[in-house]
Amino acid sequence: MKYLITGANGQLAKEFANYLEKNGQEFLALTREQLDVCNLNNVLEVIESYKPSVILNCAAYNYVDLAETDYVNAFKINGLALHNLSFACKKHNIFLVHYSTDYVFDGEKNDYYIEEDTTNPLNTYGKTKLIGEKLINSGLKDYLIFRVSWLYGRGKNNFLSKILEWSKEMNTLRIAYDEFSIPTSTKFVVENTLKAINCGIKGTYHLTPRGYASRCEIAKTFLNLVGINKFVLPVSSKVFNTPAVRPKFSAMSSKKISQLLNVDFSAWDKELKQTYQEYFK
């Protein structure tokens, strides 16, 4: 298997590169400067040169609030790029793996979302990610889309890293008690993605640990885990007045993919305990 990783500077791409290197797998990880997924000619040129069997698309526009005003760039990276990658993968018979988000849902179900549930994104970020999904669906048969949520890993653009930064500056951390989903480690995503590829699984699936939690509960659990004594004050998400509206409950069920992989996924807090030393200690 020969892997091409896009968006090499991101936390998910770094986890893939680290894992594949440790396991002696052949791969090439390229930054946006080396591979602009929004440029079809660039995509075709790189693919024709490297000839991968699998593309792991980790390139993404993940600035949820900024996307409300920076729609064009969000659409290019989360939407248009998937047309380019799908076209190139179909032309050269390459398997495409892509990552979407729980924010394609509106949070009104009040239960775990399954793959068959109707999508209805509330914010621009979610809308552009859904466009990307649809472009893959219409352009390819051989693909794997994983919807993930509240991703954390080797990087600073995630909720847990932000908690660490806030804890250095403030004694009291105001954290939302009314937003619920599932924190998911990049290690969890990488390991199960590669299992799914090896099993020949295709289609769209949810990929998260079990359970769910509010941002407030996650913050308390994480700070206790790393031994930082700060007061976490539960507040309504409305006090932050963010540009992007977020779903209140966007936890997804991963039952379908766990059954296909014959794996019993751990709960989110157990997964966090297993990975925090590697990422944060």
pLDDT at 170: 87
Residue range 82-105: mean pLDDT, rounded: 97
Is residue 197 situated within a structural domain? yes
pLDDT at 254: 97
- Cα–Cα dist 22/12, whole Å: 16
Is residue 234 situated within a structural domain? no
Is residue 68 situated within a structural domain? yes
pLDDT at 58: 97
Is residue 7 situated within a structural domain? yes
How many structural domains does the chain have? 1
Is residue 227 situated within a structural domain? no
CATH number at residue 267: 3.40.50.720
The whole domain housing 36 covers 2-158+183-211+250-271
pLDDT at 280: 63
Res. 232 pLDDT band, cuts 50 70 90? very high
Is residue 264 situated within a structural domain? yes
pLDDT at 78: 97
Residue range 122-136: mean pLDDT, rounded: 97
- Is the pLDDT confidence value at 95 over 80? yes
Is residue 167 situated within a structural domain? no
What does the pLDDT look like over 24-39, one tens digit per residue? 999 999 999 999 999 9
* HEC sequence for the chain: CEEEEECCCCHHHHHHHHHHHHCCCEEEECCCCCCCCCCHHHHHHHHHHHCCCEEEECCCCCCCCHHHCCHHHHHHHHHHHHHHHHHHHHHHCCEEEEEEEHHHCCCCCCCCECCCCCCCCCCHHHHHHHHHHHHHHHHCCCEEEEEECCEECCCCCCHHHHHHHHHHHCCEEEEECCCEECCEEHHHHHHHHHHHHHCCCCEEEECCCECCEEHHHHHHHHHHHHCCCCEEEEECHHHHCCCCCCCCECCECCHHHHHHHCCCCCEHHHHHHHHHHHHCC
What does the pLDDT look like over 164-217, one tens digit per residue? 889 888 889 999 999 999 999 999 999 999 999 999 999 999 999 999 999 999
pTM, entire model: 0.94
Is residue 224 situated within a structural domain? no
